[in-house]
Structure 1
Amino acid sequence: MTSTQTRERPPARKTGAKNAPEPGPPAPPVRKVGLRSLFPYLQGYWPTLGIVAVLSLVVTLLTLSQPVLTRDVLADIEADRPVGRLVALLIGVLVVVAVLGGVRDYLLQRAAEGLVLTARRRLVARLLRLPITEYDQRRTGDMLSRVGADTTMLRAVVTSGLFDTVTNVVMVGGSALMMCLIDPTLFAATALGLGLGVLAVVGLSRRVRGASRDAQDRIGEMTSAVERAISAVRTIRASGAEEREGKAVDGYAQQAYHAGMRIARLQAMINPITSTTIQVAFLVVLGLGGARVASGAIQVGDMVAFVLFLFMLWFPLGRALTAYSRLQSGLGALQRIEEMVDLPQETDAVAGPLTVRERTRPGTEPADAEPRPPAIEFEGVSFGYGDGETVLRDVSLAVPRGTRTALVGPSGAGKSTLLSLVERFYDVTSGTVRVGGTDVRDLPRRELRGRLGYVEQSAPVLAGTVRDNLSLAAPDATDDDMREVLRSVNLMGVIERAPQGLDTEVGEGGVLLSGGERQRLALARTFLAAPPIMLLDEATSNLDARNEALMREAIGTVTADRTLLVVAHRLSTVVDSDQIVVLEHGRVVAAGRHEELTGTSPLYRELASHQLLIQ
């Protein structure tokens, strides 16, 4: 197909240059996540977290001892007793708390980074194994946002969320206990004011999780819009559409802004409530505590210790409430991650490319074996993408081993879809696709795809080097093998004109190569893997006449004794095929050699005459 023709696939989600873009389809319902959902990500870090918990407990106990020691120092000063030992002990406690606190924080950060790493590995592994239908329906930018931004937020769940909440709650509990032991009456008055504020903050914090998830969704949509614009920046500039695309991205950015402002408003209410609550409690302690000292109910040292414990309760309580809010935000991000992790993956997904030795090669059966089935066979195949439109209707055809079969027909006839069914990117709606006589649904995908070499219509080239691209499906290939295959597709000039040779960079999406060079590199990648069956989807559409002729010769050499199934719009590239299958509206309408079809198939004759192959 040419660049202006459309490949058979589900209709893409439309995106317009509007300030307020239309929202995508609603996300499927997902299970509610909680702290238990973090456990799979923390495997291997439990010993570290156990040490962190012990250190936190020791630090908390030592911190709680400081007001008691301070009270005893004041009592000794009042009684004119030596205070050197107590002062030294108090300084020692301060130093130990600082050292243990530093060790605890380092271990906690290390565990948090490990959690993020585990989440990213798990998410990427899942994304690479999702059914192709998921990629048809989802935005690339949103998936990238989940790998980047959402996993980063998990760090706060462990550091400033989970452990800050737990340790500060312990500190608050210990301080409250000591305050109650010093003066229950004063503590009761203090706790009443604090309790009302805490209830209000917890209620607001619960709303942060939903707001955080919504904000991350909006960020994912904005990332998708930016990724779309950047990937097509040349087309956008050539079309003078910079302003329209900028407005489209701005619309998503505004949605992310409003979602972020919702979180800001919630947090703006939390902070004043927290500070006001603490200030009221402090005023209560000063007023009521001063009165009780004056009445002789408590001593001055007890009053000082009570105030110190109030500060120890004050700051941890504020941090605990803030940490709880961050924990809710992190759990909102975790829910987005789990939404992807919960998606089904391709069963028996490919774990890695087969080695050359593992590949099934033609001609290995005994000479007296039974007649072998076709390399590829479609029997009564019908298929639709799930959008209500049937793409293929009762297609039956066979591709004999060691032959070259071409699929031709107008755009939308279903040619590329047939190749996708062979690769099992999709499963048939009805009928059967067989490779080597076996239903593809009965073959492990690794084994099936190990037999196939596939060159896509767009001939994608990965960012990186020429070597990276060639070794994608043949990691055990040598440099000599790579140079030989580049020579066969007339691509040696790419590595000869650069000092890096095989390590020459090709740019994002192969942008540093011409369209023809990208296509030839994609072909070289498949040739190097040397599979027994090759599927080529418009593999020479971007080549000039000279390179097309060279490529036809290279394909003929490389595919000798191999099976070739080709999708072609330029009939000149397939006129010498062993079999040409003509499709129209998802049906096989004719099959045969070029000379036969020009006389028996009106559609083929029309296509051939338009391309000046016949008069």
Structure 2
Amino acid sequence: MQDGVDRLLASEPERAEPQVAFGYRADDGERRPLTLRGLVARHWQLAALALVAVVVVAVANQAGPELVSYAINHGMVHPDFTVIVVAACAYVAAVTVTAVFQRALVRVTGRLAAGVMRDLRVRIFTHLQRLGLDFYTDEKAGVVMSRMTSDIENLQQLLQDGLAQLVVQGLTMVVIAAILFATNAVLAAITIALVVPLLAAGSVWFQRSSTRAYDRVRDGIAAVLADLSESLHGVRVVVSHNRQERNTVHHRRVVGDYMRANQHAANITAVYGPGTQLLGYLAQAALLAVGGDMVLGGHLSIGALAAFFLYLNRFTAPIQLLAQQYTTYQQGTASIGKLQSLLSVAPSTPERPDAVELPPVEGEITFERVGFGYDPSVPVLSDVDLTIHAGETVAFVGPTGAGKSTLAKLVTRFYDPTGGRVLIDGHDLRDVAVASLRGQLGVVPQEPFLFAGSIRDNVAFARPDATDDEVWEALRAVGLAEVVERMPDGIDSVVHERGQSLSSGERQLLALARAFTARPRVLVLDEATSNLDLLSETRIEAALDALLQGRTAVLIAHRLSTAMRADRVVVVDGGGIAEVGSHDELVAAGGRYAAMFATWEADAPVA
């Protein structure tokens, strides 16, 4: 088997890396509704080949009963061994043709499914890159993962096997019906009249019931993955608070709901499948009675009756297979509905069609009567007016929930204000191309995120073309060079998922090194030193001064030692700006900042 795999891989042609162009605005193709026909239409050549193979399989596979009838009537009733041999050879030829085209059908539908799944995964992933932070705040990560995994896998199964089999079995029924009527119209009409009405009624019931059932199944697996993702990401909190038993009970309830949804879907199929099988047996019994009487009356030959029986068995077999494949079809269409609902989510910070490229900025930031609320009915900011001069370092301080981080998120256009404007160098952020804005901004969050990969990849994340010397320069600037040098592979040392192999302080230092390497014009630090000990914080203060030199910086400061280093301090409280001034000016004013500073100074450790 391994030799076969090696030969197959060796025969694969070399392919260049795909040229992918990402845009914040969806093109016309991406804006079209997601439909099964639209997915297949992009690969119409493969679809056409599959259709040809389907037709040949459906037709060639029905030659057998007619050849049996011919052999009985002309080679057995009137003995002629030559006729029997010719009929047998023709039977073998028909089976061979069917097998060859069946193999071709499997290969073509496999390629078709792979191509469609690649397009769909890229389309959904690209759409996820455009969505605003509010989507990821409201939606559970496990639900999104279920869309990218189980829903797409259902579609792959449908395209690779289910859809082709649906067409094959449906066409088989049409071909057989035509042959039956050509053989004996009266007997065919009686047979079909017994089968089709009941089959149609059962199929309508099954379609409606299974649609609702598989919607429940899709929602159930999404809930299971969401609960699993949350538990895995919070495993340290779970263990530290001895939550394992309660989490297991909760997950058992979620899995139980999913199990019941699957059982409901299975019960529906259990009624439809055996019901169609029983219908086929009743039709065969009726055929035996009516057809036998016609043979005795000389109105039908024995070979024709035998062919009728064989064809009727082949007519009911597709019905049973259709029931099974229709389940796959329902799962696939339910998944399309879930994926379409995801693709229909509009980005909360869209790029306008007439957006202009933001030229290199000096870094002046202006808030003009800015209002904002994550929930429109609960405002977080109201009528904020503030100008941050180019090259100035401004620290936002205030109580938790006052809106400090929200102001920073508006500067980076993670959100758009619900009222007023945010400008950089006089440009409304909503009027400029997002890439040209983000390319001149640097963000160091309070909780740094590191990607699985090397230290070099993480430090050079914003500038993949950075040299090794530039990476080492950034590491030395934040005081992390000695730590990395002690690692076996230096900057090629692998950082585990989310940086779990590093301490929280080291992860924060790497995030600062990433900002050093990016060299942005405007820098936003959301309490970037909160996870550092006093020694590490002191070590990087000089590096921060070098980084901030000549750049506009917005600091979200919980430690007033950070605010003291800023050119100006902005006190945010009650959804607005309470005070603005330098550290000394605000302390002398005796207002809110002075009270905060007095409290901080009283609680500060004695040197």
Show the 5 A alignment for 1:50-65. Answer: 50-65=48-63
Deviates more, 1:534-543 or 1:189-198: 189-198
Aligned to 2:391: 402
Deviation at 1:532, TM superposition (A): 0.7
Any idea what SS the aligned residue of 1:432 has?
strand
Q: Distance in 2 between matches of 1:423 and 1:74?
A: 83
Structure 2 partner of 1:521: 510
Match of 2:164 in 1: 163
Deviation, 1:465, is: 2.6
Amino acid at match of 2:310: L
TM-fit CA distance, 1:320: 2.1
8 Å Cα contact 1:160/1:326 also seen in 2 = no
Letter of the 1:108 partner, please give it: T
| Partner of residue 351 from structure 2, selected from 348, 351, 354 | 348
Instruction: Write the distance in 2 (CA, Å) between the matches of 1:36 and 1:282.
Output: 43
Superposition RMSD on alpha carbons, in Å?
A: 2.2
1:89, 1:49 → 2: CA distance?
30
- The 2-side partners of 1:339 and 1:493 are apart by 50
Does the Cα contact within 8 Å between 2:131 and 2:346 map onto a contact in 1?
yes
Once the two structures are superposed, the pairs formed by residues 276-355 of structure 1 within 5 Å of their partners are: 276-345=278-347, 346-348=349-351
Change (3 A) 1:36 1:432: closer
- Percent identity of the aligned residues? 31
For 1:85, the equivalent position in structure 2 comes to: 86
| Counterparts of residues 383-532 of structure 1 (less than 5 Å) | 383-386=372-375, 388-532=377-521
Residues 142 and 70 (structure 1), Cα distance of their counterparts in 2 relative to 1, 3 Å cut: same
Whether 1:599 and 2:585 are equivalent positions in the alignment is no
Q: Work out the CA distance in 2 between the residues paired with 1:45 and 1:206.
A: 30
CA contact (8 A) 1:486 1:492 kept: yes
Query: Residues 165-195 of structure 1: CA distance to partner in whole angstroms, max 9, x if unpaired?
Result: 2221111011111112222232233223312
Preserved CA contact (<8 Å) 2:422 2:429: yes
- 1:457, distance to aligned residue in structure 2 (A): 2.0
Partner secondary structure for residue 106 of structure 1: helix
**Counterparts in 2 of 1:69-148, with a 5 A limit?**
69-78=67-76, 79-81=78-80, 82-83=82-83, 84-148=85-149
User: Given that residues 552 and 573 in structure 1 are in contact (C-alpha distance below 8 angstroms), is that contact kept between their aligned partners in structure 2?
Assistant: no
Instruction: Quote the residue 2:64 is aligned against.
Output: 66
Corresponding letter in the other structure for 1:434: L
Q: Report the 3-state secondary structure (helix = DSSP H, G, I; strand = E; otherwise coil) of the residue aligned with 1:273.
A: helix
The within-5 A match list for 1:260-279 is 260-279=262-281
State the distance in 2 between where 1:432 and 1:179 align. 75
Give the letter aligned to residue 157 of structure 2. Answer: A
- Give the structure, 1 or 2, with the largest relative contact order (CA under 8 Å, sep 6 or more): 1
Matched, 1:192 2:193: yes
Aligned equivalent of 1:360? 360
1:559 aligns with 2:560: no
Match of 2:243 in 1: 241
TM-score, L = length of structure 2: 0.89
CA 359–227 in structure 1, closer or farther in 2 if over 3 Å, else same: farther
- After superposition, what is the alpha-carbon deviation per residue over 1:455-477, rounded to whole angstroms, capped at 9, x for unaligned? 11212222333233223211221
Q: Provide the secondary structure at the position in 1 that maps to 2:566.
A: coil
Give the Cα separation in 1 of the matches to 2:566 and 2:135: 35
Which secondary structure state, in structure 2, belongs to the residue aligned with residue 598 of structure 1? helix
Give the number of aligned pairs: 565
Write the distance in 1 (CA, Å) between the matches of 2:378 and 2:538: 38
Superposed CA deviations along residues 392-451 of structure 1, whole A, max 9, x for unmatched, are 122222111112111111111111000100111111121221111211111111111111
Equivalents in 2 of 1:601, 1:412: separation in Å? 23
Q: Could you give the per-residue CA deviations for residues 281-313 of structure 1, whole angstroms, max 9, x where no partner exists?
A: 122222322232222221111111111211221
Q: CA deviation at 1:614?
A: 9.9
SS in 1 for 2:380: strand
Measured after TM superposition, the shift of residue 198 of structure 1 is 3.9
**In 1, Cα distance between the equivalents of 2:380 and 2:278?**
66
Classify 1:451/1:151 alpha carbon distance in 2 versus 1 (closer, same or farther; 3 Å).
same
Post-superposition shift, 1:606?
Answer: 2.0
**Contact 1:197–1:273, Cα closer than 8 Å, also in 2:** no
Cα deviation 1:95-124 (Å, max 9, x = unaligned): 121011111111112212222222211111
Alpha-carbon distance in 2 for matches of 1:467, 1:290: 83
Q: Which residue of 1 aligns with 2:39?
A: 41
Report the equivalent of 2:8: none
CA distance in 2, matches of 1:80, 1:570: 104
CA distance in 1, matches of 2:461, 2:501: 19
Report SS of the residue matched to 1:179. helix
Runs of 5+ in structure 1 lacking a partner?
A: 1-33, 363-373
CA distance in 1, matches of 2:417, 2:33: 41
- 1:361 deviation in Å? 6.1
**SS of aligned partner of 1:583:** strand
Q: Helix, strand or coil for the counterpart of 1:297?
A: coil
1:237, distance to aligned residue in structure 2 (A): 0.6
Cα pair distance change 1:43/1:486, threshold 3 Å = farther
**SS at the partner of 1:611?**
helix
C-alpha separation in 1, matches of 2:280 and 2:517: 71
TM-score between the two structures when normalised by the length of structure 1: 0.88
Residue 330 of structure 1: CA displacement?
1.1
Deviations 1:121-149 (A, max 9, x none): 11111112112222222111111111111
Task: Give, in angstroms, the shift of residue 494 of structure 1.
Answer: 4.4
Output the CA distance in 2 between the equivalents of 1:547 and 1:614: 20
